[in-house]
Amino acid sequence: MAALLIVSILGAVFSADSTAIGQIMISRPIFCGPVIGLIIGDIETGLKIGMLMELIWITVVPMGVSLPPDSSVVTTIATYLAVIFPGNIPGNIPGNIPAGGQEHIVFYLLMAIPMGILFKKLDILHRKYNSYFVYKMEQKINEGKFGYINKAIYSSALFFILKGFIFLMVIILTASLVLPGIYRVIPGNIKDSMNLLFYILPAVGLGTAMTTFFFKKSRRLRNEKIK
Amino acid sequence: MKKLNKIFLRSFMLQAVWNYETMQTMGFLYALYPSFKKIYTDKNDLKDTFRRHMDYFNTHPYMALFVMGDILRLEEEYAQGGKTLDEISLIKKQLGGPLAALGDKIFWSTWRPLMGLVGVIGTMFIYKCCRNIPLWIIPAGFLIIYNAPVIYFKYRALKSSYCARTDIVITLKKINSNILIKYLPVFGLTLISIILIMALFIYESQGYGWYLLGGTVFTVIARSAFKLSATRLVYLITLIVIAGNLIFKGIGY
């Protein structure tokens, strides 16, 4: 439970970096995956997930006013689940073929990716409600209390972190109740193909990066609807 | 330059109150608030300044430092009777868009993916050659390599636009963005090729190399022909691999 708390707080800080505070890229999966892994005791799994995630969403960028799906949330959830509920736990269905050892990473990653898109929707909602601070600021300017600007910035930043914390707590708690059970009854051959996917999925990132760099059609990228 | 340091530190919170009405305005005012307080000691002047700057403003978070330095200089000149109000609001409105486009191109769609690729190469290198290097070097190295040029750029942007005696366009010309935009993608392609070759060497023992090559070709075709997004491609490839495995090997119980 302590691990869950620390991971949620850290994950919330990391996810706030991508849109709200800093933009010093502690929200990139290649950073936050290993760090989360280090905290709960398995840096290697975190690094693997971070690497995969970094490659998969390599060209997803916040162009103009559009918001990208949040990769740090995906990495945090997947790393926590993959480290705490690893692959070959006792109690597997007898006869299950033990696969290559990477299958739990891919399984939790595939389950966590939609959460990044859900978190993006929450972010859009949050940004809509931020208009409240603008109205309040206009009132305070008329009253001559300019110091309110500091208060508005700090409280909004705090809300960003709080939102991420609650989101991560709820999602990780629900997922850790449901997903390990599902993972246990997955047939061996599907686990085998998930292990294979660990080596194939980097191709998605390499291919997307190649098309962006090579064909230079950034306008298409900008119009692309990320779903 | 104490006030510039303060603006620089405060500029990290630029998007904290990002909203769909005034966008980055609140963060912009937050960064400039201490300097404004020093320029306009009279409360009514400060009130007017805040009202003037409460309209919408949006640009790339790194490039915003250019606008901040420029606005600070103009406001100081205005307070001494040099510039007109129209000039200030015009510059703020005109600079935002082009700077955002430039920043998106240089930082978001080139520099960030490139550094991600460098991080991946570092990870693969450690796995392939020297397993005794501690793994935390990857995240720490990524953070430093990404941020060192960015922070240098941000501080220089603030300083040069504040100290500029002439138009900011001339300062912008010095970045030489054309060369960056032209050659960084070539560098990116080189990195991708390095990753592909390294991955093929690593996968050799497991016999997965052809899968990776096939997947890359499939992605390139699917991206350019059908304009599929990366997330959809991930699930599409997952479905294909699972279905193929089930057809050829059965369910495996």
In this prediction, residue A164 carries a pLDDT of 94
Contact A220 B227 (CB under 8 A): yes
Q: Does B34 touch chain A (CB under 8 A)?
A: no
Rg over CA atoms, chain A: 20
At residue A173's C-alpha, the angle toward residues A168 and A175, to 5°, is 95
Q: Do A99 and A192 form a contact (C-beta atoms < 8 A)?
A: yes
Q: Which residue from B136, B212, B250 is facing A38, i.e. has the nearest CB?
A: B136
Q: DSSP for B46-67?
A: HHHHHHHTTS-B---TTTHHHH
Q: Which of A14, A25, A131, A219 to mutate to test the interface with B (most CBs of B within 10 A)?
A: A25
The CB-side HSE value for B139 (13 A sphere, CA atoms) comes to 24
The span from the CA of A57 to the CA of B117, in Å, is: 12
Phi/psi at A24 (5° precision): -100, 15
Scanning the structure block, which residue is given the tokens 């909004």? A156
Closest chain B residue to A140 measured between Cα atoms?
Answer: B47
Query: Mean pLDDT throughout A44-49?
Result: 91
The span from the CA of A33 to the CA of A26, in Å, is: 10
Scanning the structure block, which residue is given the tokens 């930082």? B107
Query: Mean pLDDT throughout B91-101?
Result: 85
Residue B103 binned pLDDT confidence (cut-offs 50, 70, 90) = confident
The span from the CA of B45 to the CA of B39, in Å, is: 9
Report ipTM for this prediction. 0.89
Residues in chain A with CB shorter than 8 Å from the CB of B185 are 212-214, 216
Question: Strand, helix or coil at B19?
Answer: strand
The span from the CA of B8 to the CA of B27, in Å, is: 12
Q: Do B174 and A162 form a contact (C-beta atoms < 8 A)?
A: no
Contact B223 A25 (CB under 8 A): no
In Å, how far is A81's CA from the nearest CA of chain B?
A: 20
In Å, how far is A2's CA from the nearest CA of chain B?
A: 22
The span from the CA of A96 to the CA of B252, in Å, is: 8
Helix H segments across chain B? 2-10, 25-39, 43-52, 64-79, 85-103, 112-128, 137-163, 168-173, 177-203, 209-226, 230-249
- Condensed to tens digits (0 to 9), the pLDDT of residues B177-190 reads 677 777 878 888 88
Identity of residue A53:
M
Task: Give yes or no for residue B167 having a pLDDT over 60.
Answer: yes
In this prediction, residue A172 carries a pLDDT of 94
Task: Give yes or no for residue B150 having a pLDDT over 90.
Answer: yes
Task: Give yes or no for residue A128 having a pLDDT over 70.
Answer: yes
Contact A31 B241 (CB under 8 A): no
Q: Does B170 touch chain A (CB under 8 A)?
A: no
In Å, how far is B81's CA from the nearest CA of chain A?
A: 24
The span from the CA of A132 to the CA of A145, in Å, is: 17
Q: Is A66 left (phi over 0), alpha (psi -120 to 50) or beta?
A: beta
Q: Which of B197, B234, B246 to mutate to test the interface with A (most CBs of A within 10 A)?
A: B234
The span from the CA of A152 to the CA of B33, in Å, is: 13
Residue A226 binned pLDDT confidence (cut-offs 50, 70, 90) = very low
In this prediction, residue B249 carries a pLDDT of 79
Task: Give yes or no for residue A35 having a pLDDT over 90.
Answer: yes
Q: Which of A27, A49, A58, A109 to mutate to test the interface with B (most CBs of B within 10 A)?
A: A58
In this prediction, residue A218 carries a pLDDT of 47
